[in-house]
Amino acid sequence: MKILVANLGSTSFKYRLFDMETEEQLARGGIDRIGEDADSNCDVEIGTHSSEQQQRISDHAAAVQMCLDQLTDPEFGCLESVDEVTAIGFKAVFAGKLSGIRLVNDKLLEAMENLADVAPAHNPPYVRAMRQLQASFPNIPLVAALETAFHETIPAKYRTYAIPSEWTEKYEVRRWGFHGASHRYIGTRMAQLLDNDDAKIISCHLGGSSSVCAMRGGESQSTSMGMTPQSGLPQNNRVGDFDPFALRLVKRLTGKDYDELLDELSSQGGLLGISGVSNDCRDIEEAAANGNGKAQLAIDVYAADIKRYAGQYLAVLNGADAIVFTGGIGENSDVIRTKVCEEMTYAGIVLHAEKNQQRGGERLISADESKVQIWTVPTNEELVVARQTAELVEC
Ligand code: AMP
């Protein structure tokens, strides 16, 4: 069975094709600047073949068509026909109580549309692209693996906000949690690496968006993102946790309305907001190294918040077997890892200074005397979505 996994942005489409008998990745590709007044960069890697080309791509359906053309190319393709694609799986973000793994249908699309205001960067491009694909490829089942599904195991005491109960019960305002595919992958992989199916893991997914998750036995117990992906840790350009009552003050002082302020918090906040430099951790680290105080503050705030969540989750789990760093920042930034793990000896957490400098791949980076293992593990969200999609279409 071959499963195509789609990762969508508002103007981008990345894909991977898996053979589910072996879980081998057969192909990967990416197309950006979709629908813009400029050529898209279209990259593809199929086996040993890789190529790049520039071409105008009008919408996501055209992007998928291009991907299918690449996969079936007589010269370098890995499929004889499009019919070999059993289903397309999506790492979809938020559909409220329509969580889990489900076929894309009108009910799901409506639910995602209705929640576009709380997941403005994520839901609209998915809904648009899914509708286009339904129309253009009616014979290929589309499957949504909702990011919130993994966190359904979080006990009520860790997912309930202290708000009027009507908000929780009627309007589903609760900590839903996100990055489910990534944390699930880390949970499964760490059980293998530690040879322990009941391991207590603190998973730090640190990238363009970031969250920390406490897991036991591969199940989510608590996570830093709440009702929306704008919460929890500071994100690259989104706010993270924040006191909503401060908005009243800023509204009065700026004359802006709540929607404008929320848009600002979800596009001009986070690491970008504090540093004033960039939303990319590499630029911020470079600026801090060159003496930029605000960039240094952004790094300090971000690392301190990750550490605070790690401390909470040591309490939630009654200790941990491992702390895992994944995502673009988690895997690559020794600076952030050092700051998160410093002065954690009370909990038996000690980094190995040299191993922490190395980059790439699965690595144990804790010191020999560390009671809690510290790892970097590249996540594989697409494989998780491919597995879930295969399971759904097989039933
Ligand atoms: P992701 O969303 O997981 O692909 O992560 C993307 C982010 O990883 C980028 O925005 C960068 O901030 C960060 N990143 C990538 N490489 C490095 C690096 N060498 N050092 C620090 N941050 C990095």
Q: Would you say residue 9 has pLDDT above 80?
A: no
| Model confidence pLDDT, tens digit, residues 214-252 | 999 999 999 999 999 999 999 999 999 999 999 999 999
Residues 120-145, buried b or exposed e (16+ Cβ, 10 A)? Answer: bbbbebbbbbbbbbbeebeebbbbbb
Is residue 394 pLDDT above 80, yes or no? yes
pLDDT band at 293 (very low <50, low <70, confident <90, very high): very high
**The two domains 2-145 and 195-376 share their CATH topology (first three levels equal):** yes
Nearest CA to ligand 1 atom 20: 333
Judged against a pLDDT cut of 80, whether residue 285 lies above it is answered with yes
- Residue 273, pLDDT > 80, answer yes
Q: Which residues contact 382 (CB under 8 A, 6 or more apart)?
A: 5, 7, 16, 18, 25, 91, 181
Nearest to 295 by CA among 309, 303, 305: 303
285 CA closest ligand 1 atom index: 21
Choose the residue to mutate in 281, 285, 334 for probing ligand 1, maximizing ligand atoms within 8 Å of C-beta: 281
- Calculate how far, in angstroms, residue 208's C-alpha sits from the geometric centre of ligand 1: 7
26 vs 136: which has the higher pLDDT: 26
Residue 265's pLDDT band, with cuts at 50, 70 and 90, is very high
For residue 392, the CA-to-ligand 1 centroid distance in Å is 32
Q: What is the mean pLDDT of residues 387-392?
A: 97
Mean of pLDDT over the chain? 95
CA distance 326 to 377: 5
- The predicted pLDDT at position 122 comes to 84
| CA separation for the pair 194, 362 (Å, rounded) | 13
Q: Closest Cα to residue 395, out of 141, 119, 42? A: 141
Residue 282 Cβ contacting ligand 1 at under 6 Å: yes
What are the boundaries of each domain within the chain?
2-145, 195-376
Closest C-alpha to ligand 1, atom 4: 328
pLDDT score recorded for residue 395: 82
With a 6 A CB cut-off, is 333 part of the ligand 1 pocket?
A: yes
Q: Is the pLDDT of residue 278 over 90?
A: yes
What's the chain's length in residues? 395
281 lines ligand 1 (CB under 6 A): yes
Cβ atoms of 278 and 284 within 8 Å: the answer is yes
Q: Is pLDDT of 108 > 90? A: yes
Encode 194-220 in three state secondary structure: HCCCCCEEEEEECCCCCEEEEEECCEE
**Confidence band for 359, pLDDT divided at 50, 70 and 90:** confident
For ligand 1, whether the C-beta of 5 sits within 6 Å is no
Cα dihedral sign, 209-211-216-222: negative
CA dist., res. 89 & res. 6, Å (int) = 6
pLDDT for residue 341 is more than 90: yes
* CA pair distance 193, 177, nearest whole angstrom: 25
Answer whether residue 102 shows pLDDT above 80.
yes
Calpha distance 388→204 (Å, rounded): 22
Indicate if ligand 1 lies below 6 Å from the C-beta of 359.
Answer: no
% pLDDT > 70, the chain: 100
pLDDT digits (tens, 9 = 90+) for 167-176: 999 999 999 9
Top mutation candidate among 275, 280, 376 for ligand 1, by most atoms within 8 Å of CB: 280
Cβ of residue 328 lying under 6 Å from some atom of ligand 1: yes
Which tokens is 304 given?
């301190």
Q: Which of 345, 380, 350 is nearest to 365 (CA)?
A: 350
Using 50, 70 and 90 to split pLDDT, how confident is the model at 136?
Answer: confident
Ligand 1 within 6 A of CB of 226:
no
pLDDT, residue 239, reads 95
What is the mean predicted confidence (pLDDT) over 72-85?
93
* Å from CA of 282 to ligand 1 middle: 7
Mapped to the 3 state alphabet, what secondary structure does the chain carry? CEEEEEEEECCEEEEEEEECCCCEEEEEEEECCCCCCCCEEEEEEECCEEEEEEECCCCHHHHHHHHHHHHCCCCCCCCCCHHHEEEEEECCCCCCCCCCEEECCHHHHHHHHHCCCCCCCCHHHHHHHHHHHHHHCCCCCEEEECCCHHHHHCCHHHHCCCCCHHHHHHHCCCCCCCCHHHHHHHHHHHHHHHCCCCCEEEEEECCCCCEEEEEECCEEEEECCCCCCCCCCCCCCCCCCCCCCHHHHHHHHHCCCHHHHHHHHCCCCHHHHHHCCCCCHHHHHHHHHCCCHHHHHHHHHHHHHHHHHHHHHHHHHCCCCEEEEEHHHHHHCHHHHHHHHCCCHHHCCCECHHHHHCCCCCEECECCCCCCEEEECCCCHHHHHHHHHHHHHHC
Stretch 313-322: mean pLDDT? 98
Q: For the domain 195-376, what is the CATH code?
A: 3.30.420.40
Read off the pLDDT of each residue in 25-49 and give the average, rounded to a whole number: 92
Checking if the pLDDT of 118 tops 90, the result is no
Residue 35: the pLDDT is 85
- Tell me what percent of the residues of the chain surpass a pLDDT of 90: 88
Give the pLDDT of residue 224: 98
Which is the closest atom of ligand 1 to the Cα of 359? 19
State the average pLDDT over residues 97-122.
93
pTM higher than 0.85: yes
* 194-210 pLDDT per residue, tens: 999 999 999 999 998 99
Ligand 1 close to Cβ of residue 154 (< 6 A): no
Using pLDDT thresholds of 50, 70 and 90, give the confidence band for residue 119.
confident
For 2-145, the fitting CATH number among 1.10.540.10, 3.30.420.40, 1.10.10.10, 3.40.50.300 is 3.30.420.40
